[in-house]
Structure 1
Amino acid sequence: MQKAIAAARTRINSNPPDILLASLPKSGTTWLKALAFATLNRATHSPSDAQHPLRHHNPHDCVGFLEMMVTQDDDEALLRSPRPRPLLVQTHVPYSLLPDAITAEGSRCRLVYVCRDPKDMLVSFWNFYLKEAATLAAAGCGGGWVGESAAAGLTKFEDVFELFCEGRYPGGPYWRNALEFWHESQRRPNEVLFLRYEDMLGDPVGNLKKLAAFMGCAFSEEEEEAGVVEQIVELCSLASLKSMDVNKNGSTVLAFRNVAYFRKGQVGDWKNYMTLDMAARLDKIVEEATRGSGLTFAGLVSHN
């Protein structure tokens, strides 16, 4: 992962993406990829089309990873070759480590960040880890604890909870990663959009319209009247994606099994894994780290 980040910082200069989706793992990445891809490509692929790419490919194969783009043998040719516009990619890299061509003033790249209640995010990643531990370790995507878990026998959720509270997670400490993108969204609201997973679940249509407008492809009145927004929301819903044969079988280009990306997608599942004391402790860590920033998160537990 560190090698990929270093390569990205120095190589993605001549052909930066037009839209970069950013997140920490298990904070709504797969859903955001599906929504953004379907929205950008709706003129070519109607959401009702039986041959829509999302019906035959996992969202992670429809929208590539920035980190993967710079670790292939032919990465130089890939980055410099003409590609369809707008170019949409995704990353787990912290804002401070992104290539200058993406973050520099005047860059054409727009960034969309999605955050999630860290308690639910950790629970989701824990379940993903239980299914894909070997692949995560081989990819170096453990955030300082996946490989350690296998070596030290950290097989209990309580153990990884402690590591998470120390800031050890793929993409860096949760609070630092989210804060970096939050600050940029406040400083450059026309170039950085900050979304919350819980808000998207509560109002998927409204948030999809916001996403489309930000990406420069707002829905027309005719499209809204025809129900295109709702069709995309339905196509990209967890229930829809989870039911597709492609997501029940096979693996993504990252070698993770497609089925591992789809579990519950619910708000508050942390209650099945954490005590109230654990939840309050983690919330307090996040609150103290983000105090004064204006950044708030859903699902905070009172620890007074």
Structure 2
Amino acid sequence: MSESVEDIEIQLLLDAVYRHYHYDFRHYARASIKRRLLQALAQWGYESISEIQSAVLHDETILPQLLNFLTVQVSEMFRDPSYFRALREKVVPHLRTYPSLKVWIAGCSQGEELYSLAILFAEEGLAERTMFYATDINPAALKAAQAGVYPLDRIRLFTENHQASGGQNSLSEYYTANYDRAVFDRSLRERTVFSDHSLVTDAAFGEMHLISCRNVLIYFDRELQDRVVRLFSDSLTRGGFLGIGSKETLRFSAHADRFTDFVRAEKIYRRISR
């Protein structure tokens, strides 16, 4: 069966973005990419995906807007509180045994997961010995993560999640309300390195004790998922921990044998020590 014109246009656009800007979306799940490009078409008023390709190749200011469609920026603090409770109760006791710690938040989006982990580690007395590495391919998302500013109307949900995750203090201790915004304390990101990093093309981050990459793998095809799982394996210390999203699994990965289930219900895995 021949490809539709629309499918050909999508492939050509992704090839063009990779060749001209070195952003590689060619192995993202095609159904998701197609859905987002159709949203871009509707919002921008273009009649075809070929028009997007022409625009992005001839006007570099279009690229950041396109990245906002192609990368997922939807998250919340302490999303899936039971995951963070499992980290607090099951993983942190092991992390306490290390004199220093490295934590990688891969695909950090606008920083909600980073601040969740920074708060958790502060409450568990591990903040001073931990370096956090927050990475994403979207420069606008990284900038937002560095700012740590969120709409005040989101804070109620963040607070409920924090308490359900086993939070030891009030979330209000970690931010200042400023008109319609909540500005999270600078201290929460003092030991954070923010970096542009592509899970598709870039190399491993070495000697991590915990990698949290939630709800990212679901947007990749099987080949890219395998690459990323190997990247995480290569980036972890022996016995290090990997947390992924509730709808994700390592079960079908070519590199699943590098990990063992640690908290199966919360998709937390441990790097095998060999």
Report the TM-score, using the length of structure 1 for normalisation: 0.26
Say which structure is richer in strand: 2
Report the TM-score, using the length of structure 2 for normalisation: 0.27
Q: Which has the higher contact order (CA 8 A, sep 6+)?
A: 1
